[in-house]
C-alpha cells in the first residue's frame, strides 16, 4: 500500500462492451472511497495475443489485480492477489443457434480454455449475477463464486424532473450491438406489426441498418456518448430488450434508473434485474406476439407505464446501488491485504 491506501490494477481489453462500462464504473467507485484504481486499456487485438499481456507491468505499488475472466490468467503475478470477474457464460448450449460458426469455434476452442485457466489461477471469482454464478457451478464446476451485482450511477442515470408531453408515437428504445444474440432480428417484424402508432429508436450506425430492411418506424440514432444515451433513456417511453442472453443486463438497469419500464426476454439474468409486472414486462424468448402485446399494453395505459417506470427507478437505487456493490468488492479485497 502507498501512504496507507490500497492500490488496485484494472487491466482490460477495450472491446466497446458492457465489460468496459463495468471497468470504468468500478474505478470511479473505488476512487470515491479513497482507493487508488489504475486502468490499463489494451487493444482488442491483444485478446488474440495474450502472451503480450503477460509482459504488462502492474503500476508501481499495486496491491491487487481485478481482471476479466477471458484474459485474467495473463495478469497472474506471483506477488499479487488476482480477482477474476465473469461477466457472461458464453458456454450455455442454448446459445448455440444464435452464434455463427466462427463465433462457436472461437468460444469453444479459444475462450473456454483461457477462462478455465483464469478461474484456476484466481484467488477469488466474482460473478455479476446469480445466473452467471450458476452457470459456472454447473458447467465448469467452479463452486467458490461471489455474486456482486453491477450497478448504475443514479446521480447520472435518473428520471427527468418533469415527464415531457407525448404528442408523438409511443417511443421504444433499443440499446445494444446489432447481433442475433441481442435479438436484433426480431425488431423489424415486431415494428411492422406495431405500425405507425409506435416508433423504435435504435442505437446502431445508420449504415449498418441499411442491410436490415427495417420499416419506416425504426429510426437509427447512431452510437451515443454517455450523456446522449442518458437523454435517450429519459425521452423514450420504454426500453425494448428482446435479448436471448444477458450475463447481467446493463441496459435494463440503466433504463429503470431513468424511470422507464423494460420490455425484455424472460431468460438468463434478466429476471434478476426486471421485476415482471412491477418494473416492466418479461416475455417468452423469441415470442414476437408476446412482445407486441406488452408494447400495446404499456402504450394503452399511461398510468401503468409511469408506475412501472417509477418503481424501476426505486428498484435501481435500492437493489443495485453503487454503495452496496463496492462495499462487497472492498470486503473481498481486504481478505488478501
Per-residue confidence (pLDDT) for residue 3, from 0 to 100 = 54
Closest CA to 82 of 104, 53, 62: 62
At 177 the pLDDT is 84
Average pLDDT per consecutive 10 residues, the chain (337 residues; last block may be shorter) = 80 89 95 96 91 92 96 94 92 80 86 91 96 89 91 93 78 92 94 96 82 89 93 97 95 97 97 98 97 98 95 96 94 92
Kindly write down the DSSP assignment for every residue of 278-311, as one continuous string: TTEEEE-TT-HHHHHHHHHHHHH-HHHHHHHHHH
d(CA 152, CA 324): 11
Residue 294 is predicted with a pLDDT of 98
- Cell numbers found for residue 143: 463452486
What are the sequence ranges of the domains in the chain?
Answer: 7-151+321-334, 170-319
Identify the CATH class of 170-319.
alpha beta
Topology annotation, domain 7-151+321-334 = Rossmann fold (3.40.50)
Contact indicator for 244, 272 with CB cutoff of 8 Å? no
pTM tops 0.85, yes or no:
yes
pLDDT for 293 equals 98
Sign of the dihedral through C-alpha 308, 313, 317, 321: positive
What's residue 165's pLDDT?
A: 65
Comparing C-alpha atoms, which of 56, 94, 53, 57 is closest to residue 70?
53
**pLDDT at res. 311:** 98
Other C-beta atoms lying within 10 Å of the C-beta of residue 253: 26
CA atoms of 100 and 257, how far apart (whole Å) = 34
* Cβ-contact 271, 285 below 8 angstroms: no
Amino acid at each position: 500500500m502507498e501512504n496507507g491506501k490500497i492500490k488496485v490494477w484494472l487491466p482490460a481489453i477495450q472491446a466497446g462492451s458492457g465489460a468496459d462500462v463495468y471497468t470504468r464504473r468500478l474505478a470511479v467507485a473505488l476512487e470515491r472511497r479513497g482507493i487508488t484504481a489504475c486502468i490499463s486499456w489494451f487493444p482488442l487485438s491483444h485478446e488474440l495475443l495474450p502472451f503480450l499481456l503477460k509482459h504488462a507491468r502492474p503500476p508501481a505499488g499495486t496491491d491487487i489485480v481485478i481482471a476479466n475472466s477471458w484474459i485474467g490468467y495473463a495478469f497472474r503475478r506471483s506477488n499479487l492477489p488476482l480477482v477474476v470477474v465473469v461477466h457472461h457464460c458464453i458456454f450455455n448450449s442454448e446459445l448455440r443457434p444464435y452464434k455463427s460458426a466462427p463465433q462457436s469455434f472461437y468460444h469453444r476452442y479459444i475462450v473456454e480454455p483461457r477462462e478455465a485457466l483464469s478461474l484456476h489461477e484466481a484467488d477469488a471469482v466474482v460473478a455479476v449475477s446469480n445466473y452467471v454464478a450458476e452457470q459456472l457451478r454447473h458447467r465448469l464446476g467452479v463452486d467458490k463464486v461471489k455474486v456482486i451485482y453491477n450497478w448504475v450511477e443514479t446521480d447520472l442515470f435518473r428520471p427527468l424532473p418533469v415527464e415531457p408531453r407525448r404528442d408523438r408515437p409511443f417511443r421504444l428504445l433499443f440499446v445494444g450491438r446489432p447481433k442475433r444474440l441481442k435479438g436484433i432480428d426480431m425488431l423489424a417484424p415486431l415494428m411492422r406489426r406495431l405500425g405507425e402508432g409506435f416508433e423504435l429508436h435504435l442505437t446502431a450506425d445508420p449504415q449498418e441498418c441499411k442491410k436490415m430492411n427495417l420499416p419506416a418506424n425504426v429510426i437509427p440514432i447512431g452510437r451515443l456518448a454517455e450523456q446522449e444515451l442518458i437523454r435517450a433513456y429519459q425521452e423514450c417511453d420504454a426500453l425494448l430488450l428482446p435479448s436471448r442472453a444477458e450475463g447481467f443486463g446493463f441496459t435494463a438497469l440503466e433504463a429503470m434508473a431513468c424511470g422507464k419500464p423494460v420490455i425484455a426476454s424472460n431468460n438468463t439474468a434478466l429476471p434478476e434485474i426486471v421485476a415482471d409486472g412491477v418494473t416492466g414486462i418479461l416475455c417468452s424468448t423469441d415470442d414476437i406476439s408476446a412482445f407486441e402485446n406488452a408494447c400495446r399494453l404499456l402504450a394503452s395505459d399511461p398510468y401503468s407505464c409511469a408506475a412501472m417506470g417509477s418503481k424501476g427507478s426505486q428498484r435501481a437505487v435500492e437493489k443495485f446501488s453503487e454503495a452496496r456493490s463496492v462495499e462487497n468488492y472492498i470486503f473481498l479485497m481486504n481478505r488478501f491485504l
